[in-house]
Amino acid sequence: MFWALALILIAAAAFSVGVALLPRRVGGGSLTSDPVQLRGFLYVGAGALTLLAVAVIILGVTRSHSGVAEALAVLGFFGYALYLGAAALIIVLGRQRS
């Protein structure tokens, strides 16, 4: 089970990098006026998810029947969601102050 969760973590990280690499639309409304800041948040989050996937694999191999790896992966998913929410809040509040 931990292999599937680690693969999903890596896929989410790859998706985040893919979103960061998308070209920005000209003239459309956007969440941020600073795309570099948004890309930075996405790259840091993707790196953290990749490291977490490696940790899940290591824990899964060494402690295969304890469920620690699976719990770590699930906590990582929720942590990443909270991280993206906090990043969006920081970007929106930073735009309002400017």
Residues 46-71 pLDDT 10s: 999 999 999 999 999 998 788 899 99
Q: State the pLDDT confidence band at 45, using cuts at 50, 70 and 90.
A: very high
The pLDDT assigned to 83 comes to: 94
Q: Is the pTM of this model over 0.75?
A: yes
**38-58 CB burial, b ≥16 within 10 A, e <16:** bbebbeebbebbbebbebbbe
Distance (Å, whole) CA 53 – CA 2: 9
Q: State the pLDDT confidence band at 91, using cuts at 50, 70 and 90.
A: confident
Each as own residue / partner, the long-range contacts of residues 78-87 (CB below 8 Å, 24 or more positions apart, any chain) are 80/12, 80/45, 80/48, 80/49, 83/41, 83/45, 83/48, 84/41, 84/45, 87/38, 87/41, 87/45
